[in-house]
Amino acid sequence: MPPDEGLALHDAAVDAAAGPLMEIGSYCGKSAIYLGAAARELGTVLFAVDHHRGSEENQAGWEHHEPDLVDPAVGRMDTLPRFRRTVHDAGLEDVVIAVVADSPTLGRFWTTPLGFLFIDGGHGPEPAHRDYETWVPHVRVGGVLAIHDVFPDPADGGRPPYEIYLRALGSGAFEEIGATGSLRVLRRIGDGT
């Protein structure tokens, strides 16, 4: 996440409706620093949801694979230690709550309305649309939905984040309030999803 997108993410969270902040897809914690700082300013918390095994694009053989994040004992990605260290080093452990879980599994049991939701989990069609369907209904009216890696031109990146961005706009429940790089920020204005 480039610094300009991180700062825009922070500002969007500070401008959100009352309620906790949530990010879907924490990876090593860079976005959690921006959102954790916003949570502290707001007197709330950030729930940082990630299974910490890496998305499809982080697996061996893919463009964004980082071999140093593979746990040699199990042979799988494990970003949790790096995430925890990032949050600790930023002094945000009191406002960033790591939730180590599969997003749809957690979502089946989630009941708290959200003031802010950041979707940056799996970028494949199934995970992106599933995160949208699972979490967007929890964003309260006046709340903010932020989506990362939205690329209108397919040559610039994958389509699913762009598709869920269009879905939100097409629902009539959201209006766009900001765009910085590949970050799109929308405010919930109604009940459609």
Residues labelled as active-site residues: 123
Structure tokens at 164: 């869920």
Contact 118, 39 (CB under 8 A): no
**CA distance linking residue 134 with residue 181, whole number of Å:** 25
In DSSP terms, 70 is beta-bridged to 77
Query: Across the chain, where does the E strand assignment appear?
Result: 21-24, 46-50, 70-71, 76-77, 96-100, 114-119, 139-147, 174-180, 183-188
- 113: nearest Cα among 40, 186, 47: 47
Pairing assessment for the beta strands 46-50 and 70-71 based on DSSP bridges: unpaired
Token pair of 158 as six digits: 């994958």
